Amino acid sequence: MRAIIALGLAGVLLGTAACSGGGSDAPAASEKSVSKGPYKSTPLPASYKIPGVRLTDQNGRPYDVAGQAGGKVTMLFFGYTHCPDICPTTMADAAGAMSLLSPAEKARTRVLFVTADPARDKPKALKDFLGKFDPSFVGLTGPYAEIKKAADDAKTPITPPPADAKGNYAVQHGSNVMVYGPDGSGALMFPYQFGSADMAHDLKALLAAPASAPAPTSPTAQSAGASETIKVSGAQVRVPSSPDVTAGYMTITNTGQPDTLTGVDSPAAATVEMHRMSMDGNGMKMEQVKAVPVGKGTVEFAKGSLHLMLMKPRDLKVGQEVPLTLHFAKAGDVAVTAKVVPVNG
């Protein structure tokens, strides 16, 4: 038996069914058909909403699925890291689609992979799995009850693993990617093997739609969740002088309530860490910091003090622009475009 359940489609969306034929998540009879418009995939009724659940991301941080979606197009997929075929194929297609977007488009697009197998898919397993495709992808796990609620909200069937499951067992789950617009409303549904080119085509059309949030501009951008109180300027990444690490700098200005920067991600590196240089009795030392308080005013990430460290950076060239995503405890995610500068720039 296949480990993945293909979602049944007819018209706009007739519903989803478990592999055993024992269930259906069909939309209400009042749902009306939706015009395909400029899209190649199946449009969803706007009444479909992104799941309102809190899970844990691949870095072990709390993640509010609906709260983090503001201003971005979200691609939501339920699967598991031990999946032999459908999940890696779908993530590869999604990674290919992201590679076809401009930096500004990519900064406004998020891919969420929610595990249907939380017993095996701990944060590190999700991070290792998704890192093979695109480090910007967000892996989510948590209590099965919350995962099931998210799947039900997304009208995607999942079946819990056997209670006594051991070894390389299979997990049944839906095979479609649910896509939500910047306001969290249902937008599109990508079927299995839709392909990178068609995904990118529809994402570009959705991002260009009048209802979409404005595209971020370089070098400063902010997400809808930041309510324009958090602004980032002067974002730069040094061209790597070694394959292992390079530094990044920026200025954060907060005109609202005190907040906390809890982390930074970028597809330009395997991971991004925050580090601080300081003097002690033995001279200069550098230590990693997990969170940076951002009170009302300005916080500088600069040479010789607080700065970013991009670990295992990609093949970056001077003049290139790379996206960064800053995670704030209150303001949510802020998308920033950083320019690659010379080592002594």
Which residues contribute to the annotated binding site for Cu cation?
83, 87, 173
If residue 62 lies in a helix (H) or strand (E), which one and from where to where? strand 62-64
CA atoms within 13 A on the CB side of 323: 26
Distances (CA, A) of 162 to 113, 125, 126, 172: 21, 20, 21, 11
- For the record, the structure tokens of 72 come out as 């971005």
Q: Which residue bears the tokens 């032999």?
A: 84
CA atoms within 13 A on the CB side of 333: 26
Question: Using an 8 Å Cβ cutoff, are 200 and 56 in contact?
Answer: no
Which residues does the annotation place in the binding site? 83, 87, 173
- For the record, the structure tokens of 214 come out as 């404005």
Question: Using an 8 Å Cβ cutoff, are 75 and 109 in contact?
Answer: yes
Does residue 153 sit in helix, strand or coil?
Answer: helix
Question: Using an 8 Å Cβ cutoff, are 276 and 285 in contact?
Answer: no
Tell me the CA end-to-end span of the chain in Å, nearest whole number. Answer: 58
